[in-house]
Structure 1
Amino acid sequence: MDAHKGWNLQQSYTELPDAFYTKTTPSEVENPELVLYNEGLAEKLGLPTKLDPDIFGGNAVPEGSEPIAQAYAGHQFGHLTMLGDGRAVLLGEQITPEDERFDIQLKGSGRTPFSRGGDGRATLGPMLREYIISEAMHGLGIPTNRSLAVATTGEYVQREDLLPGAVLTRAASSHLRIGTFQYAAGLQDHEQLKALADYAIERHAPDLLHSENPYLSFFEKVIDRQASLIAQWQLVGFIHGVMNTDNMTISGETIDYGPCAFMDTYNPKTVFSSIDRQGRYAYMNQPPIGAWNLARFAETLLPLFHGNQEAAVEMAQEAHAKYEESYHAYWLKGMRAKLGMVTAEEQDQPLIEDLLEMMEKNEADYTNTFRALTLGSPNETSLYGKPAFTNWYKQWQARLERQETSDNEVQVLMKKSNPSIIPRNHRVEEALEAAVEEGDFSVVKQLLSVLEDPYAYTEEQEAYTELPDSGDQPYRTFCGT
């Protein structure tokens, strides 16, 4: 079989000025071996079910590829830094049979001009982790980049210990970030900034090209996408862990699964990242950090909004003010659905907040509490038997009775809105340990299988709803660099 069959790559990004990228080639590795391959995604992309591991290890590039590393900046924990793809190479943009465009990127493929002293490599554990979590997010219906493959390299990478090396291949509608625009603004070249903005609009919102002020309209579009995305994170208890501006996309997709994880016990202050010692990116802070990042995005676009600085700032502030309202609307709609509410009443939010307050006070599991309510089994929650919950449950049932919806319709809505399972941290670690320590990828594959449809409520998923031993807390994650 032709290893390159099915590749249909273009490179529209290189039509931008040279300042936005550097041509670079993946570094060769000793013995690439494909250990995970996403056949469903491959089919969507128009790729064959089996491919040459040399491509996914970086030893060869597919036909039509012009590998580059992209330049961008980013506010990392609040401090602006000039960055770029330090260990990633964009092979090109795959045009699918449905005429969609997806970036195909290798992560962990060696040094680039942006490596800043790093080795450009990745280790197997974090690459498997990104594969698992990103595919779980896709199963949850949350916009995300997706993982196409993981290849081991046959080499070891020096971190605190010598660890097996790996390369992740991921697909995204693009890797344009708020940080890409910060980089463009830092060039202090109006034409280059405009070129980037025009490219982003044409790629991600072509319907805005002929609007009265396409740059302002695009800013508003990105605001709405980010508000929707972060609301979806909150609704399933996902904590990104490193919401730096270089990790926030213009497309509204989740990218860069470093120190991320899903909450077990509901606690708004939950932080998983080992380096987030101040809780900047805690669960409860994700919505306001979204607003902060978007304010940084607005600053880069001011020269395009209006030639007059004061007028541009006023436009930006007016648009930015819509974020909080949009986020809240998405969150409230989602929480209503999680509780089976198909209509809207004024007292819905206090009812929702009362439940969350009880969950926090009683250290209830976030996912399993909503799962139990969905299945009509309140006795399976840690809240059961407590007077406050008994009172709340009566109010909730009375609320549902006021809408003309059958019990079956309510449960169908709740099952669509409350996942039966999430990638529990202890299950993820179990899968990674089997793969990294024992070379056994069956545990990863089984976990991926049950996460394909987290709303299925199948018997097979039952074991994956079980909570970890209390000794597993607090859980800490690392960026993997």
Structure 2
Amino acid sequence: MAFTLSGDDVCQTTLPTPVPDPYWVAFSPSSAKLAGIPLDENEWPTDKAWLEVLSGNQLNAGGHHFSNPIATAYSGHQFGVWAGQLGDGRAILLGDIAGQELQLKGAGKTRFSRMGDGRAVLRSSIREFLCSEAMHALGIPTTRALSIIGSDLPVRRETMETAAVCARLAPSFIRVGHFEHFASLQNHARLKELADSLIQAHYPECLQAENPYLDLFKKICERNAKLVAQWQAVGFCHGVLNSDNISVLGLTIDYGPFGFLDHFQIDHICNHSDQGGRYAYHRQPQIMHWNMACLASAMIPLVELGCDEKEAQDQLRKALEEFPIIYAHTWQSLFRKKLGFTVEEDGDITLIERLLQAMHDSKVDFTSFFRRLGELKIDALINQISLRNDFVDRDAIEQWFSEYLARLKREGSNDLSRQISMNQVNPKYVLRNHLAQEAIELAQKKDFSEVAKLLNILSRPFDEQLEHEAYALAPPPNIDSIEVSCSS
């Protein structure tokens, strides 16, 4: 559903600004098939005009004419502080294609660019492209990435870099910030119009509820509670969970200073700009809950349409209280699966939390530990479990393994079936920062082969891929501290 609201208070027709001499950097055949774009035998678009469209240089390709590209206004809280009006400062929505919205990120200035140049750079575009597709392959709701188009157009960030345009797909790019925008202006007519269009296109079941807007809020909360639990389960840190970066469809959106955990730290901060640690790994559920509270405040005028103000506030508050319950249930279920449990026991959560504390204390690699845990045999001798060597406190982890094996025996766990099921939820490959950085450095020399290779590996994160074993390893100590910031 393309953004259906019109008027200068909502959006503005915005033509992309062309880039000189565009060239392909990366392309996702999977996303192209989602968008219904025909591909040749090498899985590139059959219509060469897509290069020009996805770079922002023209509006026609493959029988599609994107006649009304727009940038939208939204507002929001950034790092917990009300930032006022924001908007699509470097994103331009071309229109619909096969039920998806097609958006160009880095295609030039818009009315909402403020002091920015409306451009994206190659570095950040590669990170977003690869992580979008990696998250999709992990089964985590996300916007998709269709392509990266490069240009030698210079763009200044901390240093002089080159321009790139990343094409993104989503059923909708509507954010919590869109609701906050109209609520802050007390424009209740626009607020209702926004909610009605969202319900019609994406939450039609809400129409059957006694209060459709309250039901809409509940469903948005539920999706985002489950989403953040999935992030925690794969060790993903978003890095900048401002309310304007939160999708009302429960999608992971706006990849910037993200990072997957390497050596586990419960309080890991992936964003160098986040000096207070507001968006640290262990705070992500709390912050997502806070963002849902921002949405609740924005939706009070809508819920009031079915009751009085006090009742509306009480109902939204009660609905908001369901967020941590849904999150905890989802988190517990996901971590039980990561440990290979098929039934629930009362002591499971304590067992999980003790393991995570031990991993934190010893900075154990998050992804590889859980993957290797699936290889453990139920009759293993404790002093022969090689995973013990990852931990500093040997006595404590041996006690944990003893209790873990006893727990598996109580439910009659089978080694082979358990490993198969654990390997379906514990990925072997994630987009580690050092892998992305290596691909970026080659791409800056016009060698895009590593981007394509990573796309291929990360599209099958649960497969063994023995020929790519090195891509599953934790980073060497000398490159373990790559810093990413909001400009990433």
State TM-score, norm by structure 1: 0.94
Question: Distance between the aligned counterparts of 2:252 and 2:10, measured in 1?
Answer: 22
- The residue number in structure 2 matching 1:8 is none
- The residue number in structure 1 matching 2:28 is 38
Deviations 1:204-244, CA, capped at 9 Å, x for gaps: 21111221111111111011100110000000110000000
- Whether the 8 Å CA contact 1:37–1:150 is kept in 2: the answer is yes
Q: Which runs of 5+ in 1 are unaligned?
A: 1-10, 96-100
Deviation at 1:16, TM superposition (A): 4.7
Query: Where does 1:396-415 land on structure 2 (aligned, <5 Å)?
Result: 396-415=404-423
Question: Distance between the aligned counterparts of 1:159 and 1:425, measured in 2?
Answer: 20
For residues 325 and 156 of structure 1, do their structure 2 counterparts lie closer, same or farther at Cα, with a shift above 3 Å needed? Answer: same
Task: Say whether 1:469 aligns with 2:465.
Answer: no
- The residue number in structure 2 matching 1:251 is 249
- Whether the 8 Å CA contact 1:184–1:196 is kept in 2: the answer is no
Query: Where does 1:348-363 land on structure 2 (aligned, <5 Å)?
Result: 348-363=348-363
Question: Distance between the aligned counterparts of 2:138 and 2:298, measured in 1?
Answer: 33
Deviation at 1:196, TM superposition (A): 0.5
One-letter amino acid of the counterpart of residue 77, structure 1: F
- Whether the 8 Å CA contact 1:364–1:382 is kept in 2: the answer is yes
For residues 323 and 367 of structure 1, do their structure 2 counterparts lie closer, same or farther at Cα, with a shift above 3 Å needed? Answer: same
Deviations 1:338-370, CA, capped at 9 Å, x for gaps: 000010000000010111111111111111111
One-letter amino acid of the counterpart of residue 102, structure 1: Q
Question: Distance between the aligned counterparts of 2:241 and 2:145, measured in 1?
Answer: 20
Question: Distance between the aligned counterparts of 1:210 and 1:48, measured in 2?
Answer: 39
Deviation at 1:460, TM superposition (A): 2.5
Question: Distance between the aligned counterparts of 1:295 and 1:433, measured in 2?
Answer: 41
Aligned residue for 2:301, secondary structure, equals helix
- The residue number in structure 2 matching 1:172 is 170
For residues 385 and 273 of structure 1, do their structure 2 counterparts lie closer, same or farther at Cα, with a shift above 3 Å needed? Answer: closer
Deviations 1:390-413, CA, capped at 9 Å, x for gaps: 111111111111224422221121
Deviation at 1:18, TM superposition (A): 4.6
Deviations 1:371-425, CA, capped at 9 Å, x for gaps: 1101228414503981211111111111111224422221121111100121111
Deviation at 1:449, TM superposition (A): 1.0
Query: Where does 1:59-98 land on structure 2 (aligned, <5 Å)?
Result: 59-62=57-60, 63-65=64-66, 66-81=68-83, 82-95=85-98
- The residue number in structure 2 matching 1:98 is none
- The residue number in structure 1 matching 2:380 is none
Which of residues 431, 439, 459 is equivalent to 1:452?
Answer: 459
- The residue number in structure 2 matching 1:127 is 125
Which of residues 253, 276, 283 is equivalent to 2:274?
Answer: 276
Question: Distance between the aligned counterparts of 1:115 and 1:86, measured in 2?
Answer: 4
Deviation at 1:34, TM superposition (A): 1.7
Task: Say whether 1:480 aligns with 2:478.
Answer: no
For residues 12 and 475 of structure 1, do their structure 2 counterparts lie closer, same or farther at Cα, with a shift above 3 Å needed? Answer: closer
- The residue number in structure 1 matching 2:111 is 113
One-letter amino acid of the counterpart of residue 418, structure 1: N
- The residue number in structure 2 matching 1:328 is 328
Deviation at 1:44, TM superposition (A): 2.0
- Whether the 8 Å CA contact 2:362–2:392 is kept in 1: the answer is no
Question: Distance between the aligned counterparts of 2:315 and 2:223, measured in 1?
Answer: 19
Deviation at 1:160, TM superposition (A): 2.6
User: Number of paired residues?
Assistant: 465
Question: Distance between the aligned counterparts of 1:192 and 1:292, measured in 2?
Answer: 24
Question: Distance between the aligned counterparts of 2:107 and 2:136, measured in 1?
Answer: 24
Q: Which runs of 5+ in 2 are unaligned?
A: 40-44, 378-384
Aligned residue for 2:452, secondary structure, equals helix
- The residue number in structure 2 matching 1:4 is none
- Whether the 8 Å CA contact 1:367–1:419 is kept in 2: the answer is yes
One-letter amino acid of the counterpart of residue 103, structure 2: Q
One-letter amino acid of the counterpart of residue 342, structure 2: V
Aligned residue for 2:248, secondary structure, equals coil
- The residue number in structure 2 matching 1:215 is 213
State TM-score, norm by structure 2: 0.92
Aligned-residue Cα RMSD (Å) equals 1.5
Question: Distance between the aligned counterparts of 2:346 and 2:208, measured in 1?
Answer: 39
Deviations 1:152-197, CA, capped at 9 Å, x for gaps: 1231112232211110001012111000100111221221111111
